[in-house]
Structure 1
Amino acid sequence: MRNSRRLLLSIHDVSPRFSAPVETLAGILAEEVGAGRFAMLVVPDFWNEAPLLADRAFVARLRSWAALGVEMFVHGWCHRDESRHRGAIARVKARHMTAGEGEFLGLSREEAMERMRRGRDVVEQAIGRPVAGFIAPAWLYGPGAIEAAGALGFDLAEDHMKVWSPARSRVLARGPVVTWASRTPMRAASSIAFAALARRTLGPMATVRIALHPGDVSDPRLIESARRTIRRLARGRAIARYRDLIDAGGENPRHL
C-alpha cells in the first residue's frame, strides 16, 4: 500500500440478533468508503440467544459480504460476561467499561481457548473461509485471553489503544479507537464530543480506527457524527484492511 496513513473501519456485534442495524451500518460504510472496505466482528451466539448458524439468511448475507472483501473477525462467543472477577482493576473494568459484556476479561487461558476455538469454527463455517483474527467483546482481555489468542495463532487482535498480532507477539499500530455509545443520553453526548475532538487531533496519526455498533442507528445524531468523522479522517488516508498492517510490518513493530 503506497499511502502509509490508514483508516480502518469496523462494525461490531454482527449477529442475527442485529441483522437490520448491521445491514444499515454496512450500507452507510459502503456509501462513505466503498463496498467491502471494512471489517465485521461476528458473534457466534449473542448472549446465548442468537446462534449464528441457525439463521441461514444471515449466514448467506455474511458470505456475500466476505466475498466483497469484508474482513471477518471472531468477536467472542456470546459477548456476555459470565465471570466472577478477581482484583480491583478487573472489577472496575467490568463494571464501568461495558454493560456486562466483557466476556473475555475474567476467563482462564483454558476457557478462553475453548470459546475462541468454538467461535472460530462457527464463523468460518458461516463465511466459508478463514477468519482475519479475534477481537474480544468490549475490547477487554484478561491475561488468559491474551495467552489463548497467541496459542491459537490468531493473526490479528485489537483493544481500545492498539492493534497487535497475537501469533507474532508484535504491536502493529497504536492509538485510540473512535466509537460511539447509545446506552444513555449522557454517553451518547460524550461520544459525540469525543468524535469531534478526534476529528481535530488524530490527523497526524499513521493509523486511525473507527468502530460502529448496531445501537448507533437508534440515534440520528450518532450516525451524523460517525459520517462526519469518517469523512474528515479519511482525508489523505488509504481505506485499509487490518491485514495491511501485517503486510507492511506495522508501525515501528515491537514485542508486546
Structure 2
Amino acid sequence: MTICQACTYTGETELSRGHCYVDDHTALLSLHDVTPFFEDDVVTTLDRLSDIGISSLTLLVTPFYHLKKTNVFERGSMFSEYLLSLDLEIALHGYSHITKSGSASEFAGLTTEQATRRMKKSLTMFLRAFDRKPTGFVPPLWSAPPRVDRVARSVGFKYTVREDSVKPLTDSRPCYVAASILSQGTRTIETADAMLEIELGGPLQIGVHPLDHSMNNMINFLTELKDSLGYRFMGYADFISEMS
C-alpha cells in the first residue's frame, strides 16, 4: 500500500473511488480525550510516549468534556500552557464527547445544522483557551456521517478523520489505513481484528486513551510495533504535510 503523496493507487477500484492508502509500517497516532479531567494521566502518558521515542502524534482536545464546567480549559492555566509548550499538533475532538442518551458517539446522529452549531461552539471554547485554531476535526470514536466533512470545511478545518480514513479538506481524496485500534482506557486492547494487518506491516490508526498507562499494555504494544515490527508513528497533520 502506498502513501497519498503522488496518490499512487492500489488498483482500478481505488482509482474509481478516489482512494489512496497510508504507507505500510506507518501508524497514525492520537491521544484521545485530552481534557482537564484526565490532566495527570495525559501528562504521564505523554512522558511514557516520549520515553519510548515517539515524537509525532495528535492531541485530541474535547473542550467541554461530559458537559461539566470543571472540565473546561482555561486560558493561561498550567495545563493549557503545558499542552501548548509541547510543540505537538492539537485537533478538536468533539464538543462534549457525549450525547443526550449517554453515548460517546457525539456526532454520529447529528443533522448538518446540529453539527454546525456544535462545531462552532467547540471552536469558540477552543480559541478562548488556546488562542489558536485546532488543525483538524476528529469526532469521538472516529464516528460521524460524511456530511461532517462539509461542516468542518465551512468553519475552517484542514482535515477530518472518520472511521479508517483521513480526508484533507483541500482535496476530495481520502487516505485510508488498513485497520484502526481504539483503546478506551479499559483492561484490554482489542487488536484481534487488526492482527493480520499488523503481521503484514499494514498501515494502522491507533487511538490512545489517557488511562492506558495504568490500565492495559498499550505502551508495551506501541513499543513492540516500533522496535520489533518497524512501525513509525505520525500525527495527522504530519502525515498530511508529508503527503502534500
- Shorter chain as denominator, the TM-score bin is 0.7 to 0.9
Contact 2:179 2:194 in 1 (8 A): no
Comparing both structures, which one devotes a greater share of its residues to helix? Answer: 1
Aligned-pair CA distance for 1:121: 2.9
User: Where do 5+ consecutive residues of structure 2 fail to align?
Assistant: 6-22
Superposed, 1:205-220 pairs within 5 Å as 205=202, 207-220=203-216
- Return the structure number with greater relative CO, CA threshold 8 A, min gap 6: 2
Distance in 1 separating the partners of 2:64 and 2:74: 9
Given candidates 80, 86, 90, the residue that maps to 1:72 is 90
User: Where do 5+ consecutive residues of structure 1 fail to align?
Assistant: 84-98, 251-256
Distance in 1 separating the partners of 2:44 and 2:243: 33
> Match of 2:141, SS?
helix
Q: Write the letter of the residue equivalent to 1:178.
A: I
From the superposition, tell whether residues 243 and 211 of structure 1 become closer, same or farther in structure 2 (CA, over 3 Å).
Answer: same
Aligned twin of 2:145: 142
> Match of 2:114, SS?
helix
Aligned-pair CA distance for 1:223: 3.5
Aligned twin of 1:57: 78
Given candidates 60, 63, 69, the residue that maps to 1:41 is 60
Q: Write the letter of the residue equivalent to 2:241.
A: D
Aligned twin of 1:200: 199
Aligned-pair CA distance for 1:12: 0.3
TM-score (norm 1): 0.74
Aligned-pair CA distance for 1:142: 2.8
Aligned-pair CA distance for 1:181: 4.2
Q: Give the superposed CA RMSD.
A: 3.0
Given candidates 40, 49, 52, the residue that maps to 1:20 is 40
Aligned-pair CA distance for 1:248: 4.2
Identical positions, percent: 26
Distance in 1 separating the partners of 2:47 and 2:108: 32
From the superposition, tell whether residues 59 and 164 of structure 1 become closer, same or farther in structure 2 (CA, over 3 Å).
Answer: same
Superposed, 1:84-99 pairs within 5 Å as none
Of 151-160 and 22-31, more deviation after overlay is shown by: 151-160
From the superposition, tell whether residues 167 and 28 of structure 1 become closer, same or farther in structure 2 (CA, over 3 Å).
Answer: same
Residue 240 in structure 1 maps to residue 234 in structure 2: yes
Aligned-pair CA distance for 1:236: 6.1
TM-score (norm 2): 0.77
Aligned-pair CA distance for 1:220: 4.0
Contact 1:42 1:74 in 2 (8 A): yes
From the superposition, tell whether residues 23 and 82 of structure 1 become closer, same or farther in structure 2 (CA, over 3 Å).
Answer: same
Distance in 2 separating the partners of 1:229 and 1:249: 22
Aligned-pair CA distance for 1:194: 4.8
Aligned-pair CA distance for 1:198: 4.7
Distance in 2 separating the partners of 1:124 and 1:30: 27
